[in-house]
């Protein structure tokens, strides 16, 4: 009989956001080959009068054969953020207890340290269940800067049976927060090679309506502070307008301010906002451009870098997170210091040349291998 593993994560698809947490969904679906998986995806509680029917998320659902539960947790936006771990615990404990009563849980696996991991560790320990926590990036890089959250994160890392991190950089940071080196496992993300593979640039440009002779730079991601998009816009303003155009795919809290910066920098003719697009179109845009740019201030193991290189498109990225562990060849791309518009501007002309001058040989492992590595971690505890 398969062991029952409960995955706790706020990053999982739901009825209204089918692309949310695609990388965790890919992992979970592969883990079902060896484990009986149930997902708990806590979502913020909102009063009924603020939720219209079309946006209502059910208490539970079945996605690709996997049972997913959506318990509500209280969040007071921008206030009392140090209480979110405890509030998450209050939502997770009854959900885990109910699952355990119906079908014995053998292991809890929480993705995202705060507040998910903090709440899940407390709930698992309350019930005497083993737990693995997974640090993804900003949960360590950003939230540990705040004293009360750092105390909770540190305790969760110490109380977990094992801690999985996405890069050597995150491993060092979690150890500084108190994680036991012997309990740390570094496992990079995988890449879906059935989706992200090399296609003919000109054919894809024709399909997408992009001009054949232009140089294009691409940014894909959430428009938020840690992605450093403002530095890329500043870098674009230092270039000759004929040098390249920038396509921005994604949305987020900084969308208005980034658009205002583009307007103030007189770049509206060369910087194009495409918003959020269907996930199946992303590999087409990656193949259509000369290079991807990820000017992040912080990262874990950025999937978009793995996806871009798998498509044969070089990457200009900040030296953060797992980026130096991925871009290990001159043909893969160029790494610059974070928060440096000058370095980005200096290297954009160089990154635009790579795709036509060099062939990218990038043999990264897929999600099957990633799931296999996570499976080994689970078995360390279960056997």
pLDDT at 178: 93
Q: Do 3-190+367-382 and 201-357 share a fold?
A: yes
CA distances from 198 to 128, 287, 308 (A): 48, 7, 9
Digit-by-digit pLDDT tens for the chain (383 residues) are 899 999 999 999 888 787 788 889 989 999 999 999 999 999 988 776 555 554 578 899 999 999 999 999 988 776 788 899 999 999 999 999 999 999 999 999 999 999 999 999 999 999 999 999 999 888 898 888 889 999 999 999 999 999 999 999 999 999 999 999 999 999 999 998 899 999 999 999 999 999 999 999 999 999 999 999 999 999 999 999 889 999 999 999 999 999 999 999 999 999 999 999 988 899 999 999 999 999 999 998 999 999 999 999 999 999 999 999 999 998 899 999 999 999 999 999 999 999 877 778 898 989 899 999 999 999 999 98
Identify each DSSP E strand in the chain by its residue range: 3-8, 35-40, 43-44, 60-63, 66-69, 72-73, 107-111, 131-135, 162-165, 184-186, 216-220, 245-249, 271-275, 291-294, 315-318, 333-336
pLDDT at 283: 97
| List of residues 6+ apart from 187 with CB closer than 8 A | 164, 165, 166, 370, 373, 374, 377
Q: Return phi, psi of residue 307, to 5°.
A: -70, -40
pTM of the model: 0.85
315 φ/ψ sector (left φ>0, alpha ψ -120 to 50, else beta): beta
For the chain, what are the domain ranges?
A: 3-190+367-382, 201-357
**Other residues' Cβ atoms within 10 Å of the Cβ of residue 375:** 18
Task: Look at residue 248 and give its three-state secondary structure.
Answer: strand
- Please give the CATH superfamily to which domain 3-190+367-382 belongs: Glycogen Phosphorylase B; (3.40.50.2000)
Topology of the domain comprising 201-357: Rossmann fold (3.40.50)
pLDDT at 144: 87
pLDDT at 272: 98
User: Structure tokens of 43?
Assistant: 């979502």
Q: What is the 3-state secondary structure (H, E, C) of 265-308?
A: CCCCCCEEEEECCCHHHHHHHHHHCCEEEECCCCCCCCHHHHHH
């Amino acid at each position: 009989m398969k062991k029952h593993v409960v995955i706790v994560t706020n990053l999982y698809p739901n009825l209204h956001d089918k692309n949310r947490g695609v990388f965790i969904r890919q992992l979970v679906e592969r883990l079902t080959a060896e484990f009986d998986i149930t997902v708990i995806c806590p979502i913020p509680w909102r009063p009924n009068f603020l939720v219209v029917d079309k946006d209502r998320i059910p208490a539970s659902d079945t996605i690709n054969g996997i049972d997913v539960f959506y318990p509500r947790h209280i969040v007071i936006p921008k206030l009392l953020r140090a209480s979110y771990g405890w509030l998450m615990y209050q939502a997770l404990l009854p959900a885990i207890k109910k699952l355990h009563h119906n079908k014995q849980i053998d292991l809890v696996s929480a993705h995202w340290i705060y507040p998910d991991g903090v709440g899940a560790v407390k709930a698992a320990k309350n019930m005497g269940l083993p737990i693995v926590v997974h640090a993804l990036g900003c949960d360590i890089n950003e939230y540990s800067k705040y004293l009360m959250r750092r105390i909770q994160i540190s305790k969760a890392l110490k109380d977990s049976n094992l801690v999985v991190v996405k890069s050597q950089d995150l491993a060092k940071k979690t150890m500084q927060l108190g994680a036991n080196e012997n309990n740390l496992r570094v496992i990079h993300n995988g890449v879906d090679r059935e989706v992200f593979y090399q296609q003919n640039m000109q054919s894809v440009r024709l399909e997408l309506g992009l001009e054949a002779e232009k140089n294009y730079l691409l940014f894909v991601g959430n428009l938020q502070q840690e992605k450093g998009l403002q530095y890329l816009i500043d870098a674009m303003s230092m270039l000759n307008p004929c040098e390249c155009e920038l396509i921005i795919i994604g949305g987020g809290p900084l969308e208005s301010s980034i658009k205002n910066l583009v307007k103030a920098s007189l770049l509206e003719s060369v910087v194009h906002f495409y918003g959020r697009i269907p996930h199946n179109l992303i590999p087409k845009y990656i193949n259509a451009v000369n290079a991807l740019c990820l000017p992040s201030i912080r990262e874990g193991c950025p999937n978009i870098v793995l996806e871009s290189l798998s498509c044969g498109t070089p990457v200009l990225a900040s030296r953060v997170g797992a980026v130096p562990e991925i871009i290990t060849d001159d043909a893969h791309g160029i790494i610059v210091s974070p928060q440096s518009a000058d370095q980005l501007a200096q290297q954009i002309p160089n990154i635009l040349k790579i795709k036509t001058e060099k062939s990218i040989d990038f043999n990264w492992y897929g999600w099957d291998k990633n799931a296999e590595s996570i499976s080994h971690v689970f078995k360390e505890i279960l056997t």
